[in-house]
Amino acid sequence: MSPERRTAAPHPGQEHYTAPLSETPLKDVDAFDDTSTPRSMWRQAAHSLLRDPVFIVSAILIAFILFVVAFPGVFTSQDPTAGSLANANQDPSGEHPFGTSRQGYDIFSRVIHGTRTSVIVGFFTMIGSTLIGAAIGALAGYVGGWVDEIVSRVVDVFFAIPLILGAIVIGARFQGIDSIWVVILVLSVFGWTNIARITRGAVIGVKSQEFVMASTALGAGRFSNLMRHVLPNALAPIIVTATVNLGVFIVAEATLSFLGVGLPPTVVSWGGDISTARTSLTTHPMQLMYPSIGLAVTVLSFIMLGDAVRDALDPKAKKR
Amino acid sequence: MLWYIGRRLLQIIPVFLGATLLIYLMMFSTGSDPIQAIAGEKALPPSVEAQLRAQYNLDKPILVQWFLYIVGVIQGDFGLNLSGRPIIDDIRRAFPVTAKLAIMAVIIEAIFGIVAGVIAGLKKGTWIDTTFLMLSLLVIAVPTFVIGFVAQVILGVQLKLVPVNVGNDPSFMNLLLPATVLGAVSFAYVLRLTRTSVAENVPADHVRTAKAKGLSSGALVSKHILRNSLIPVVTFIGADLGALMGGAIVTEGIFNINGVGSLLFRALQRSDSPTTVSVVTLMVIIFLISNLIVDVLYAVLDPRIRYAKK
C-alpha cells in the first residue's frame, strides 16, 4: 500500500486504510480467487524452512554426513581396522592425512568409517525410542482415566533412571555380545520417556478438538480416529523432539563406548577412538581431536535441524 | 499447599518401588551370577556356595530378594558388597564428594545459564544473542568427556592452574574445574530455556503495563520478566540433578575423584552387582527427592499450580 493512498483517519484510533467504495466495486471482491487449497501446516513449515539459514546449513551438513555414511570409500581407501604397530603415532602425511593412532590405525579412515556407526546407532535408537514413546504416550493420553494414571506412573519409573545410568547397568549385562544392536536396544529402552510425555500432552490437546468429535459423530471407531485424526495432528512436537533426541543418542553412545560398556572394541566408533586416544592426550592431542570434531559436527547438525524444524512448525515462537 | 506436598509424596512411593524393582530385575534376572564373580575360575565347595547364597538372599525368589532389599534401604542398610563389607560404608565415603561436586555444578550452571540466558533473551536477534546461542550449541554438541580432557590438558597439564587429579577429600578449588565440566552441558540447556522464556515474556501485556507505569528496567527484569521466566528453568534444573549424577560417572573418571560415580564404575568392572544396584538406587532416590523439591518450588513460584488441581 503506497502512502499516498492512505486516507486520513476519520476518527482517532481508526488509522487503517479504508478504500472508498468507488475504488473497490463489489465485482472485484467477488472475483477474489478462493478456489486455491489452503496451505497445510506442513507446506507452510516447508516454505519457511527453505528460508531459514539454520535449516539450510544443517541440511547441507546432514546430507554430507549421510553421503559419508553411504560411501565411506569415496573419501578414503585405507582400511580402518588394519593396524600395524610399525607405523604407530605417525604425523599426518599424504598417505595418512590425520596421521596414525597408537595402534597404527589410519585416523582419517577411522573418523570416516566411525560416522556410519554413530549415525546408525543414533538413527535406529531414535526410531526405536520414538515408536515406544509415541505408542505409550498415545495410549495414556487417548484412553485417559485409570489407564493414563497407571501408564504415567510407568513412564515416571523409567524417567527416574537417567539414560546413561540405566544404559550402563544393562549395557554391562550384555557385554560380550559384539553387536551395535545391543547398544541401540539399551538406549531405546531408556530413551523413550520424553517422547511419551510429549505425545501424551499433544494427544490430550488434539482429542478434544471439534474435528475429532465430528469424526466420532460420523461413526469412526476409536482406534481409526486415533490413527487417522489424532496422531497425525499431534505429530509436530514428536518430530521435533525426536530430531533433537537423535543428537543426544549419538552423544550417549559415544559416552557408553568411552566408558567401555557401549560398542565392542571391534566396531570402529568415535567414542571408542576418543577413549583410546586419551592415553596419548599429552603427546598426541590431535588424535583425540579428530574423532571429537566428527562427533561434534554430527551432533550439532541434528540439534540445529531440530531447532529449525521447531521454529518452522511453531511460528508463534519465531515471530518475535 | 500441605495437601499438594502430601499428594506429591504419595506419588513418589510407587515410582520409587517401580524404579528399584526395574533395576533389580535388570541386574539379577539376566543370568549373571554374583557368586560366580566371587568364586572366579574355581568352583566353590557346595556348602560355602549355599552359605554365600543365603548371605546375599540369592536362595530366595527375586521378588522376595527385592522386598528384603527395599526394607533394608529404608532403614539405611544397603546390604553387603561382594567383598562382604557393608555397602553403606562405601557410600558414606563417596557420597559427600559427589554431592559437593553436583551442587557446585548446579550452582555454576544456574548462575551462568540464567545470566547469559536473560541477556540473550532481552537482546534477542542481536550479535550477543547469536554468540550465546552458538556457544550453547557447541557445548551441547561436544561430549562432556572431550570438554573434560581438553580442559584437563590445557588448564591442568600445560598451564598448571588446577590440579590434574583430585583424589580423596577434595577442596573447593580442586573441584572447581570438574564441577564446571560437569555442569557445562546443563549450562547450555539452562541458557537456551531462559532465553526462550525471557523472550516470550518481554512482549507480554503485564510487562508493557509495568513499563508504561514507569518502572525502572532493573525492577522490570527482576520482578516481572525473570520471575515468570524462571518456572521452566527451575523445573529443568531439578530434573537435571539426576542427569548430573549420571554425568558424574564420566567426570569423576576423568579427574580421578573418589565419588559415587567412580564407586559405580569400579563395581561394574568387578561385576559387583549389589554395589551397582545400591548406587543406582541411591541416585534414583536423589533424583526423586530433587524432583519433589522442584515441584514444591514450582507451586511457590506459580500460584496457578497450587490451586489448579485440588
> Per-residue DSSP letters for B66-88?
HHHHHHHHHTT---B-TTSSBHH
Handedness of CA A36, A40, A41, A43 (dihedral sign): negative
pLDDT band at B278 (very low <50, low <70, confident <90, very high): confident
Place of cell 497445510: A40
How far apart (Å, rounded) are the C-alpha atoms in residues B181 and B175? 10
Per-residue confidence (pLDDT) for residue A134, from 0 to 100: 93
Q: How far A153 CA lies from chain B's nearest CA (Å)?
A: 6
Cell numbers found for residue A287: 588424535
Beta strands of B109-203 (E only): which ranges?
none
From B88, B239, B268, B255, select the one nearest A166 (Cα to Cα). B268
CA-nearest residue to A151 within chain B is B15
Looking at CATH, the fold of the domain delimited by B94-269 is given as MetI-like fold (1.10.3720)
The phi, psi pair for B257, rounded to 5°, reads -95, 130
The pLDDT of residue B42: 67
CB-nearest to A169 from B149, B157, B276 is B276
**Inter-chain residue contact B146 with A172, CB threshold 8 Å:** no
Q: What is the Cα gyration radius of chain B?
A: 24
Of B15, B243, B253, the CB nearest to A153: B15
pLDDT, position A204 = 87
Round to whole Å and give the CA distance between A269 and B237: 32
Q: Considering the entire predicted model, what is its pTM?
A: 0.81
User: Chain A partners of B271 at a C-beta cutoff of 8 Å?
Assistant: 172
pLDDT of residue B34: 63
Output the pLDDT for position B168. 65
Distance from CA of A112 to the nearest CA of B (A): 18
**Residue A202 to residues A209, A236, B291: CA-CA distances in angstroms?**
12, 9, 23
Report the mean per-residue pLDDT for chain B: 80
Q: Residue B270 phi/psi, 5° resolution?
A: -95, 10
Question: Could you give the ipTM of this predicted complex?
Answer: 0.79
How many Å lie between the alpha carbon of B255 and the closest alpha carbon of chain A?
Answer: 12
Express each pLDDT in B80-129 by its tens digit: 777 777 888 888 888 888 888 888 999 999 999 999 999 998 888 888 88
> B242 or B23, which is more confident?
B23
Candidates A146, A149, A169: best to mutate against B (most CBs of B within 10 A) is: A169
pLDDT tens by residue, A265-282: 778 888 888 888 877 777
Of B181, B108, B186, give the one whose Cα is nearest residue B145. B181
The low-confidence residues of chain A, meaning pLDDT below 70, are 1-39, 82-90, 94-96, 104, 175-178, 314-320
DSSP state of A106: B
With beta carbons under 8 A apart, name residues in chain B contacting A278. Answer: 149
Nearest to A197 by CA among A137, A141, A121, A244: A137
Please determine, for residue B136, whether its predicted confidence score (pLDDT) is greater than 60: yes
Cβ-based contacts of B19 with chain A (< 8 Å): 157-158, 160-161
pLDDT for the residue A320: 37
**What is the rounded CA–CA span in Å between residue A50 and residue B227?**
36
What pLDDT score was predicted for residue A26?
A: 65
- Across the interface, whether the CB atoms of B141 and A297 are under 8 A apart is answered yes
Phi, psi of A164 (to 5 degrees): -65, -40
- Cβ proximity of B78 and B91 under 8 Å: yes
Contacts of B257 (CB under 8 A, 6+ apart): B97, B98, B101, B166, B167, B170, B175, B178, B251
Q: So what's the pLDDT on residue A123?
A: 93
A165 contact residues in B (CB cutoff 8 A): 242, 245-246, 249, 280, 283
Distance CA B33, CA B35 (A): 5
Residue A318: what pLDDT?
A: 46
Residue B245 has pLDDT above 80, yes or no: no
Domain residue ranges in chain B: 2-80, 94-269
Is A283 an 8 Å CB contact of chain B? no
pLDDT given at position A1: 42
